[in-house]
Amino acid sequence: MGNLKKFKGICWGILLVTLWFAHLAYLLSRPFDPASPWTYLGILIQMHLYTGLFITSHDSIHGVVSVEYPVVNNAIGRFCTILFAFNNYTVLRKKHHEHHAHVNTAGDPDVHQGNFFVWWFKFMWQYVTWQQVLAMAITYNILKLWIPMWNLILFWELPAILSTLQLFIFGTYLPHRGEHTPGNKTQSRSQSRNHVWAFISCYFFGYHYEHHDQPYLPWWKLAAAKDQAENFTK
């Protein structure tokens, strides 16, 4: 059993990638029906799976998808960032480590206190590149030869955009905005303990204090860390 545990991160990564591919293939093969509520539910599910791809690449950046096999760890992380609108894993890794090292200071590439939309724009500007936009445009025009335009826009492109907003709100804006309690070295806060909502909202990354305090924990262990922190303060 102990030997199997070291493959848990790899299994989670493979599962999320498989679900992303399978659900996307299903949505792209279905006729687009704007009157069906299942259309919009499908968009939300695909958004959540996109977020799972990013969270997997994030865990890979921290080296916890596979601690024992760094090559596999980085390969899974890099693959997930490519699936997530052709993001650059090397850039993400560099800037995310800067975020942890200089959280909520001038050296933090992710935190820009102030107006929500200005902050989101600055956040996105850090990561979107012309190479990424070009790759998306080329892929879109190739896929359009076989897949209807609206299916591509609504089920491939829109969920990725919504996922960036989801990640920003629950993984950056809410945890880091405003003033933090004196002595809080993580410069972050956590949402109230509700594991169902924490998973739905952002794969437990609303428990953000726990992540910054223990960045070696993969996403599925943050709920237990939240429980431990709550019990300690009682």
Band (pLDDT 50/70/90 cuts) for residue 234 is: very low
Q: Do 81 and 92 meet the contact criterion of CB atoms below 8 Å apart?
A: yes
Residue with tokens 């070696």: 216
Task: Name the percent of the chain lying above pLDDT 70.
Answer: 97
Band (pLDDT 50/70/90 cuts) for residue 129 is: confident
Examine the pLDDT at 176 and tell me if it is beyond 80: yes
Separation of alpha carbons 134 and 144, rounded Å = 15
Q: Do 29 and 156 meet the contact criterion of CB atoms below 8 Å apart?
A: no
Q: Do 53 and 46 meet the contact criterion of CB atoms below 8 Å apart?
A: no
* 190 closest CA partner among 226, 137, 153: 226
* 53 closest CA partner among 141, 160, 157: 160
DSSP state at residue 154: I
The pLDDT tens digits for 48-102 are 999 999 999 999 999 999 999 999 999 999 999 999 999 999 999 999 999 999 9
Quote the distance between the C-alpha of residue 5 and its chain's center: 23
Give the E-state strand segments of 80-206 in sequence order. none
Q: What does residue 114 show for φ and ψ, rounded to 5 degrees?
A: 135, -150
Give the pTM: 0.93
Separation of alpha carbons 20 and 55, rounded Å = 13
